[in-house]
């Protein structure tokens, strides 16, 4: 069965630290990849997405993610986090059947 | 542009009762999704509509859950009868199109938090 794994359920960082959140999926076909973010008290919203082309994609607020097809991974990165990045982050994969599967999420807490 | 609207925001019911949730997607969005998000987990797709037709309902517990999208706009999700394990946030999302990769960015509503006692 198709699945999405996020390696860390909780991450605590100090401001200015670098961030990398892992995401792996199990599906052998063509995929569309997403990272969504949910800030406290707000809706889920799109952070960035990959459909084709350059495997390094840039999103909002300085986030980026790299699609490594051979590793079935789509890790999220930010070189320097801010307190306002405190949120829950979800990796999602849309497969050939157009079903979107979400990972369990990673809660990030950034200490000011 | 108005976002995805959902109501109610919160609902508390007793087990074996019925409940219904309503969703109004972004205008012009052909695809509508209902997700169940249990505490500590990611959203799980329950049903996906393309206009008023069902694209995927493989994870919808059809013995108790039903959903409809009449006229291809608003949608209603119903649970009858509810069980304790149905306690979750029910999210509605919409996208321009669910059948073309570049157009399936989903926009989410605020969700309905259901508590079943």
Q: How far, in Å, CA of B6 to CA of B10, rounded? A: 10
| Average pLDDT, integer, range B54-75 | 92
Q: Assign B86 a pLDDT band (cuts: 50, 70, 90).
A: very high
Report the alpha-carbon distance of residue B29 to residue B48 in Å, rounded. Answer: 13
Q: Are strands A3-6 and B112-116 parallel, antiparallel or unpaired?
A: unpaired
Q: How far is B101 from chain A (nearest CA, A)?
A: 7
pLDDT per 10-residue tile (average), chain A, 112 residues: 89 97 90 93 92 92 95 96 97 80 95 92
Q: Which of B48, B93, B104 sits opposite A32 (nearest CB)?
A: B104
Query: Does A59 contact B at CB distance below 8 Å?
Result: no
Task: Find the residue in B nearest to A37 (Cα).
Answer: B108
Inform me whether the pLDDT recorded for B101 exceeds 60: no
Distance, in Å, from the CA atom of B107 to the CA atom of A43, rounded to the nearest integer, reads: 9
Nearest to B95 by CA among B36, B38, B42, B35: B35
pLDDT value at residue B70: 82
Q: What is the pLDDT of residue B40?
A: 87
Q: Point out which residues pair with A34 in neighbouring strands.
A: A49, A92
pLDDT at residue B36 tops 60: yes
* Upper half-sphere CA count for residue B43 (Cβ side, 13 Å): 34
Name the band, by pLDDT with cuts 50, 70 and 90, for residue B9: very high
Between CA A17 and CA A80 the distance in angstroms is 5
Top pLDDT among B2 and A103 is at A103
pLDDT of residue B65: 97
User: Are A105 and B48 in contact (CB < 8 Å)?
Assistant: no
Distances in Å between the alpha carbon of A56 and those of B19, B36, B115?
Answer: 44, 31, 41
Shortest Cα distance from A36 to chain B (angstroms)?
A: 10
């Amino acid at each position: 069965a198709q699945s999405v794994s996020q390696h860390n359920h909780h991450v605590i960082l100090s401001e200015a630290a670098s961030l990398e959140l892992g995401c792996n999926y199990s599906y052998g076909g063509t995929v569309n990849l997403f990272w969504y973010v949910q800030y406290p008290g707000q809706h889920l919203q799109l952070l960035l997405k990959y459909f084709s082309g350059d495997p390094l994609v840039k999103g909002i607020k300085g986030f980026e993610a790299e699609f490594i097809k051979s590793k079935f991974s789509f890790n999220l990165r930010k070189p320097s986090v801010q307190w306002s990045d405190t949120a829950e982050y979800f990796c999602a994969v849309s497969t050939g059947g157009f079903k979107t599967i979400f990972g369990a999420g990673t809660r990030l807490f950034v200490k000011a | 542009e108005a976002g995805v609207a959902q109501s109610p925001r919160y609902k508390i019911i007793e087990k074996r009762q019925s409940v219904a949730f309503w969703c109004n997607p972004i205008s012009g969005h052909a695809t509508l999704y209902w997700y169940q998000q249990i505490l500590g987990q990611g959203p799980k797709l329950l049903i996906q509509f393309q206009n008023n037709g069902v694209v995927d309902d493989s994870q919808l517990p059809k013995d108790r859950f039903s959903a409809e999208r009449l006229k291809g706009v608003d949608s209603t999700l119903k649970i009858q009868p509810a069980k304790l394990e149905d306690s979750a946030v029910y999210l509605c999302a919409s996208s321009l199109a669910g059948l073309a990769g570049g157009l399936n960015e989903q926009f989410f509503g605020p969700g309905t938090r259901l508590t079943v006692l």
